[in-house]
Amino acid sequence: MNPGKIKVLIADDHPLLLGGLKVALEKIESISTIFVANDGKEADEIIKSETPDIAILDIDMPFYTGLEVARRAVKNGTRTKIVFLTLHKEKSLFDEAKKLDIAGYSLKGNSLDEIEICIQTIINGRKYFSPELNMQMNESKIDLSTLTKTEFNILRLIAQNKTSPEIADILFVSKKTIENHRANIVKKLKLKSEKNSLLKWVLNNQEDLKLLL
């Protein structure tokens, strides 16, 4: 993707959510065009005619569900990256979505900030799955339940070898804010207060973290 030239489609049959999502995405500088669809059929047509870089789809929509739209996109070989924004937390649905190699899965009810993080993560070439879902769907000896969503996202970015300045840019906050969050994560994980202790912990727990991040 070319930052500054990102086209995004949002599809949902709930006008209020659709409007709020559009307002949130308009704040992201790297998005140049936002398409809006009120049902699955309209979303499918826009994906075919406009080839947006990212399509944010509700799963429950009239005519075609979000899953059906995603399947049609895969069948047609479109380069559009699919993100599901839904209320569904069922593991079977989550697993089915992953089989379609979707780029993201976020829960309605979470803050709109999460969608911004999701979009930025995808623009940077990574996939994004809601921290709440990852912790619910996977099992690991590592307990990250005490982390806030922001702390979880910072830990995920650290695992992607991002530095504090890079994470600050991605999350649109100051480097000092990231350093404060890192210090809180160190305390919650009960790590030693020494230089690079969090990075060392991430490197030592890469296999288990793959299940969660």
Residue 1: partners with Cβ closer than 8 Å, 6 or more residues away: 53, 123
Number of domains in the chain: 2
Q: Within a 10 A sphere around the Cβ of 204, how many other Cβ atoms?
A: 10
More confident residue, 37 or 192: 37
pLDDT (0 to 100) of residue 134 = 60
What domain range includes position 159? Answer: 149-212
Domain boundary residue, one of 111, 136, 161: 136
Query: Torsions phi, psi of 105, nearest 5?
Result: -150, 115
pLDDT digits (tens, 9 = 90+) for 58-108: 888 899 988 999 999 988 888 899 998 877 766 777 777 778 888 888 877
Q: Identify whether residues 155 and 113 lie together within a single domain.
A: no
Global confidence as pTM = 0.61
Q: Which of 213, 207, 209, 47 is nearest to 128 (CA)?
A: 213
CA atoms 110, 74, 120, 210: torsion sign: positive
Distance (Å, rounded) from C-alpha 184 to C-alpha 149?
Answer: 13
Q: Identify whether residues 166 and 128 lie together within a single domain.
A: no
- What CATH number should be reported for the domain holding residue 203? 1.10.10.10
- What CATH number should be reported for the domain holding residue 128? 3.40.50.2300
